[in-house]
Copies of this chain bind each other. A is one copy, B any other.
Amino acid sequence: MQKIGKQTIKFDTPPSILECSSIVGPKESDGPLSKYFDQTLEDEFWGEKSWEKAESKIIRENVANLILKSGVSSNDIDFVIAGDLLNQCISSSFGLRDSNIPYLGVFGACSTFVESLSIGAVMVEGFAKNVICATSSHFCSAEKQFRFPLELGNQRPPTSQWTVTGSGAAMISKNGYGPFITHITPGKIVDMAIKDANNMGAAMAPAFCDTLLTHLKDTGRNPSYYDAIISGDLGYIGKDIAIDIIKANGYNIKSNYNDCGVLIFDKQKQDTHSGGSGCACCASVFSGYFFKQLKSKNLKRILLIATGALMNSTSSQQGESIPGIAHAISIEI
């Protein structure tokens, strides 16, 4: 592997995404991508006593399903790289504590999935045979932790997004016939002083643009090189802002750019305001939908840019702004 340009890494022997697995909750199962997910849940508890335990079960079962689908023996898996939105990433650590696989915890808020794919790809090109990259989020555990008790029934402003309940997981491998991870462009923290914790799309869009523009410059590629450029969870508002910023920088991405938060829900029917969000938004939409499009060659080259808001409730209460980050990964067949 080698660094090209300012912050992109190009792989000499691109790691293969051998298999993906996805589980989503009931609301996501009612959305337009329903048929693409491996498993859909009927309720938010899945037989557990708390939303946190349910989220741990979701990532555990999803990783177990990934291992099963991939046909890779657990002994041949070098690492599981995972993280989530819960304080101290407990969904991942409790969900994966019995996996008996070396564990690296990562935290990039909703950018976690692509962060883990990026580190995983470096490991596979370096020395590893197989690495699992996984993440989860849960609407109820996230609302409870970041906003208000669900029981209050608070009104949600039109800029707010709906945290996806679910998990996405990928097996990156030295073996396999693709799709291949050809480049990664890990992002810098970008803070444009947005303070509205109910408008994450606006807070994260500048980071998305910074990483996309850097990726294009580093690789010498034009946006049209990609069949699809996909952001993680900017939602409707963040997506519009992103298109505007990119246009001001000389590129038109309107025709081949979309956002997982826009794709996963039906805005009109599902009352999800600005769209989906959460670590599982990008992870489940990639693992469920885009991975299959690549496998079936409906899409041949995609740029997946997961976005994260690196704040917590204390920082908001202390009047801080919301730093954003975005990591990009180029996946080609």
Residues of chain A touching chain B, judged by Cβ–Cβ distance below 8 Å, are 1-3, 7, 9, 49-50, 52-53, 78-79, 83, 85-90, 93-94, 96-109, 115, 118-119, 122-123, 125-129, 145, 186-189, 191, 310-315, 318, 320, 323, 325
Which residue of chain B is the closest to A102 with respect to CB atoms? B186
- Cβ contacts under 8 Å, A313 to chain B: 87
Is B1's CB under 8 angstroms from A93's CB?
A: no
Is B87's CB under 8 angstroms from A104's CB?
A: no
Can you name 11 A-B residue pairings with CB atoms under 8 Å? A2-B127, A3-B129, A7-B78, A87-B314, A88-B107, A102-B187, A103-B187, A104-B119, A105-B108, A106-B107, A122-B122
CA distance A93 to B314 in the complex (A): 13
CA distance A108 to B323 in the complex (A): 21
Which residue of chain B is the closest to A318 with respect to CB atoms? B50
Q: CB < 8 Å: which of B49, B90, B106, B189 contacts A93?
A: B189
Least Cβ–Cβ distance between A105 and chain B, in angstroms: 4
Is A320's CB under 8 angstroms from B94's CB?
A: yes
**6 closest Cβ contacts across the A-B interface?**
A93-B310, A88-B312, A87-B87, A105-B107, A97-B189, A87-B312
- Cβ contacts under 8 Å, A109 to chain B: 88
Greatest chain B CB density within 10 A among A9, A115, A127 is at: A127
CA distance A103 to B186 in the complex (A): 7
CA distance A9 to B96 in the complex (A): 22
Is A1's CB under 8 angstroms from B127's CB?
A: yes
- Cβ contacts under 8 Å, A7 to chain B: 78, 102
CA distance A75 to B2 in the complex (A): 16
- Cβ contacts under 8 Å, A186 to chain B: 79, 102-104
CA distance A52 to B313 in the complex (A): 12
Is B127's CB under 8 angstroms from A94's CB?
A: no
Which residue of chain B is the closest to A52 with respect to CB atoms? B314
- New A-B contacts (8) at CB < 8 Å, excluding given A104-B186, A106-B106: A3-B78, A53-B318, A79-B186, A93-B311, A101-B188, A104-B119, A105-B310, A119-B119
CA distance A94 to B146 in the complex (A): 17
Is B312's CB under 8 angstroms from A90's CB?
A: yes
CA distance A320 to B88 in the complex (A): 14
- Cβ contacts under 8 Å, A318 to chain B: 49-50, 52-53
- Cβ contacts under 8 Å, A118 to chain B: 104
CA distance A98 to B103 in the complex (A): 29
Is B108's CB under 8 angstroms from A188's CB?
A: no
CA distance A313 to B49 in the complex (A): 17
